[in-house]
C-alpha cells in the first residue's frame, strides 16, 4: 500500500505559464500551480498520446512549479514543442528529498540538468542559515545552467568548471570538490593546521551517474556524509510497478530514492555500472 495520497497519484492538469530557453537543448517550464514539492523530489509529466516521464522539480515556492529539461528523445522533444498556455498532466510530488540541519556548511555538486534541483536545494537551505559551496560543471560554457540564479543567492560560493576550460576550472567539478575537501581536512575541529575554510558538513549531488559515483567514492574516502540523486527508468513513480528497483538491495528509487544517502549508495552493485530500460534489459554506462 502506497503512503502517497490518491490526489498525488492521479494526474492533474496544469497550464504552462512561462518558457525559458536556457541553452540550445534545454528549457525551463513554469507551471501555474504548486505540487508542494521539497528539493530533490520529482514529478511525473504526462503528454496525452505521447508518454509520461519523471522530471526533477527545479523549483516549487507554493504558488508555481518549475521543471528544467533536455530535449533528447521522443517525449522530451514533444514537450519542447509546447508553449505558454498549453496544458500538461502532472502527478506528484514523489520520492525522497535532501535533508539538512540549519546552519550547516554544505557542498552541492551539479552536472547537466542537476543544476536545476540543486538551485532548489540552495534556495531553501540558505533560508535555514546554511552556507554553500556550489560546484557546477558542464562540457563547455554554453551548457552551464542556473549560474545567475545561484549567484543571486546569499551565502553561496560558486565554483564553475568546464571540460574544455571555456569557463572556470578546466576539468570536472568533482576534482574541484576534492581540492576543497583536502583543504578542509587540514583544518576543522581538533586539527592543528588551520584551514581558511570551515569543514564541510555534508555533500549533496545531482547529475550524470558517473559524476555521482565519483562523489560517492570521494565522500566515503573523506568520511563526509553525502546524499545523491539516483535515476532509473520509472513508470508508476510511487512504488507499485517495480521498474526502478536496484540490485541487490531491492530498493525502489521512486520511493526510497531518488535522493539516497551514500551509506546505501555504496551497497548498490549496479551503481555506476548499469541500468535497466523499460523492459528490464540491462545497459552499461
Ligand atoms: C527521477 C528522475 C528525474 C529526472 N529529471 C529530469 C530532469 O529534471 N530533466 C531532464 O531533462 N530529464 C530528467 N529525467 C529524464 C527524463 O525522465 C527522460 O528520461 C528524458 O526526458 C528523456 O525522455 P525521452 O522519452 O524524450 O527520450 P528517451 O528515448 O527516454 O531518451 C533518448 C536518449 O537520451 C538519453 N537521455 C535521457 N535523458 C537524457 C538527458 N537528460 N541528457 C542526455 N541524454 C539523455 C537516453 O539514455 C536515450 O539514449 C529524470 C529521470 C528520472 C528517473
Ligand atoms: S517506478 Fe514503479 S516502483 Fe518505482
Tell me: the pLDDT tens digits for 56-77? Answer: 999 999 999 999 999 999 999 9
If asked whether residues 220 and 110 sit together in one domain, one would say: yes
Tell me: the pLDDT tens digits for 160-202? Answer: 999 999 999 999 999 999 999 998 876 655 554 556 788 999 9
* 216 has pLDDT over 60: yes
60 occurs within a structural domain: yes
What the block records as the C-alpha cell of 89 is: 498532466
If asked whether residues 118 and 191 sit together in one domain, one would say: yes
Given 178, 206, 229, which residue is the final one in a domain? 229
Residue 173 half-sphere exposure, CB side, CA atoms within 13 Å? 33
What predicted TM-score, i.e. pTM, was given to this entire model?
Answer: 0.94
| Segment 209-216 mean pLDDT | 98
If asked whether residues 59 and 115 sit together in one domain, one would say: no
Query: What is the model's pLDDT at position 4?
Result: 81
Query: Residue 195 pairs with which residues in a beta bridge?
Result: none
Tell me: the pLDDT tens digits for 124-140? Answer: 999 999 999 999 999 99
Please report, for the domain that includes residue 130, its CATH number: 3.40.50.80
267 occurs within a structural domain: no
User: Percentage of the chain surpassing pLDDT 70?
Assistant: 96
216 occurs within a structural domain: yes
Domain of residue 181 covers: 105-229
* Among 1-5, 179-183, 227-231, the range of highest mean pLDDT: 227-231
120 within 8 A of 41, measured Cβ to Cβ? no
Taking the CA of residue 234 as reference, the ligand 2 atom at the shortest distance is: 1
**To test the ligand 1 pocket, which listed residue (38, 74, 76) has its Cβ within 8 A of the most ligand atoms?**
76
172 within 8 A of 160, measured Cβ to Cβ? no
127 occurs within a structural domain: yes
What the block records as the C-alpha cell of 16 is: 504552462
Given 73, 94, 115, which residue is the final one in a domain? 94
Taking the CA of residue 254 as reference, the ligand 2 atom at the shortest distance is: 4
Please report, for the domain that includes residue 74, its CATH number: 2.40.30.10
Domain count, the chain: 2
If asked whether residues 124 and 225 sit together in one domain, one would say: yes
**Residues with Cβ within 6 A of ligand 2?**
234-237, 239-244, 252, 254
Amino acid at each position: 500500500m502506497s503512503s502517497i495520497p490518491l490526489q498525488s497519484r492521479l494526474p492533474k492538469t496544469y497550464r504552462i505559464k512561462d518558457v525559458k530557453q536556457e541553452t540550445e537543448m534545454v528549457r525551463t517550464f513554469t507551471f501555474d500551480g504548486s505540487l508542494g514539492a521539497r528539493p530533490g523530489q520529482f514529478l511525473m509529466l504526462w503528454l496525452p498520446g505521447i508518454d509520461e516521464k519523471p522530471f526533477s522539480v527545479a523549483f516549487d515556492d507554493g504558488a508555481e512549479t518549475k521543471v528544467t529539461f533536455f530535449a533528447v528523445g521522443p517525449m522530451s522533444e514533444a514537450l519542447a514543442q509546447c508553449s505558454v498556455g498549453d496544458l500538461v498532466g502532472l502527478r506528484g510530488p514523489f520520492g525522497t528529498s535532501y535533508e539538512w540541519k540549519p546552519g550547516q556548511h554544505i557542498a552541492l555538486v551539479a552536472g547537466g540538468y542537476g543544476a536545476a534541483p540543486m538551485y532548489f536545494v540552495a534556495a531553501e537551505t540558505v533560508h535555514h542559515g546554511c552556507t554553500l559551496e556550489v560546484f557546477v560543471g558542464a562540457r563547455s560554457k554554453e551548457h552551464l545552467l542556473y549560474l545567475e540564479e545561484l549567484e543571486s543567492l546569499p551565502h553561496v560560493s560558486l565554483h564553475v568548471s568546464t571540460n574544455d576550460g571555456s569557463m572556470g576550472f578546466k576539468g570536472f567539478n568533482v576534482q574541484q570538490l576534492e581540492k576543497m575537501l583536502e583543504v578542509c581536512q587540514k583544518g576543522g575541529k581538533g586539527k592543528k593546521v588551520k584551514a581558511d575554510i570551515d569543514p564541510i558538513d555534508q555533500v549533496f549531488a545531482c547529475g550524470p551517474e558517473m559524476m555521482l559515483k565519483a562523489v560517492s567514492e570521494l565522500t566515503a574516502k573523506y568520511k563526509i556524509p553525502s546524499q545523491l540523486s539516483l535515476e532509473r527508468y520509472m513508470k508508476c513513480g510511487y512504488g507499485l510497478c517495480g521498474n526502478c528497483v536496484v540490485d541487490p538491495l531491492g530498493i525502489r528509487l521512486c520511493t526510497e530514492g531518488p535522493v539516497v544517502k551514500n551509506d546505501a549508495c555504496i551497497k548498490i552493485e549496479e551503481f555506476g555500472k548499469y541500468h535497466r530500460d523499460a523492459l528490464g534489459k540491462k545497459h552499461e554506462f
